[in-house]
Amino acid sequence: MEWKTIALTTLIVSLCFLAIPIKVGPADNGTNSTEQTKLFEEYVDQYQKPYRHNPDEYQKRFSRFQESLKTIETLNKQRKSNSDARYGVTKFSDMSEEEFLQLHLRPDLPTRSEKHHQSVNHHDHALDRSKRAPVVIPDKFDWRDQKVVTSVKTQGVCGACWAFSTIGVIETLFALKNGTLQSLSVQEMIDCAKNDNNGCEGGDICSLLSWLVATKTKIVPESNYPFIRKTDTCKLQKASMKTQTGIRVSDYTCDSYVKAEDKLLSTIVNKGPVATAVNALSWQNYLGGIIQYHCDGAYTSLNHAVEIVGYDKTGPIPFYIVKNSWGPSFGDKGYLYIAIGSNVCGIAHQASTINIVP
């Protein structure tokens, strides 16, 4: 089937269900730019892009969209099985890779995170691998099965993935201790957390946890301190930060599981979800499936933070179940799947467990 037929057929289905991204099939050398123009028109309508009546911006975005189509074609041609990651048009497909990095990721994350390697809360699990008995865990485990994971949130252009991933873990831990699942305030972290955290302009998981432990600040429900997608003045009174009602972090880890991912799986089962840094640059056009390639795992490439809520080793390609904060329309209802064992996307470089006092 020709590229234009696949693209337009999927487009019609997408417009019936707006939360479903437009999928793009392989392009052939005879692809007509007219078909791409039509596809882009429908894309702009589906995602309600603000530049629809701005000719100059519209043309610029169309050019970026065409580049995304080329990238999507290249990535999908390298798929080796039906379970491999699938790529297609998403809400980010009208951006250049550099724009995506600057607007939705945190390229300064490696610099921010480096200081934590000397912390007492950091441990490299690869160093004690030879001393450790084999890890016995289930072949499949997912905290969502226990109804203790909150819904996927949408951070927008607020660069607070560090807060979303951390708060997501704490929400599950609170539900496990108290039997009550509730959304907690990410905005409180954005506005109030110091220790080199800069609200929507960036931060990191370990710095946030260090600040929460040091200040004994309690995390309040989201209903008390709702998310507004920008950094604002801290609403907590300094005198009451330690005495207010809420959930307190008592301890945490900020560990490396590189070459020790079996230990990371055990941690997920026995301690709860973990918040971790990743390289998400190649996720711009991700639709679903297991990410195994095209995702640099170098520490210097870390630029995003997510929450690992489970894993699945029952198939030919074992994978982590990753909760993201780009909304439920991205990926598989807001989730991604990353292959286990090779530090894909740098997922094992800096993962945090958390202890709380409700």
Give the active site residues.
161, 304, 324
**C-alpha 253, offset from chain centre:** 19
> Tell me, what DSSP letter sits at residue 153?
P
Q: Where are the beta strands (DSSP E) in 9-85?
A: none
> Tell me, what DSSP letter sits at residue 217?
P
Backbone angles phi, psi at 312, to 5 degrees: -145, 120
Burial class (CB in 10 A: 0-12, 13-18, 19+), 64: middle
Q: Tell whether the torsion through CA atoms of 106, 112, 114 and 117 is positive or negative.
A: negative
Q: Are 38 and 8 in contact (CB under 8 A)?
A: yes
Q: Are 14 and 32 in contact (CB under 8 A)?
A: no
CA distance 192 to 235: 8
Backbone angles phi, psi at 323, to 5 degrees: -90, 125
Q: Are 221 and 174 in contact (CB under 8 A)?
A: no
Tell me the two tokens of residue 173.
């831990």
CA distance 72 to 82: 16
> Tell me, what DSSP letter sits at residue 344?
G
Q: What are the beta bridge partners of residue 93?
A: none
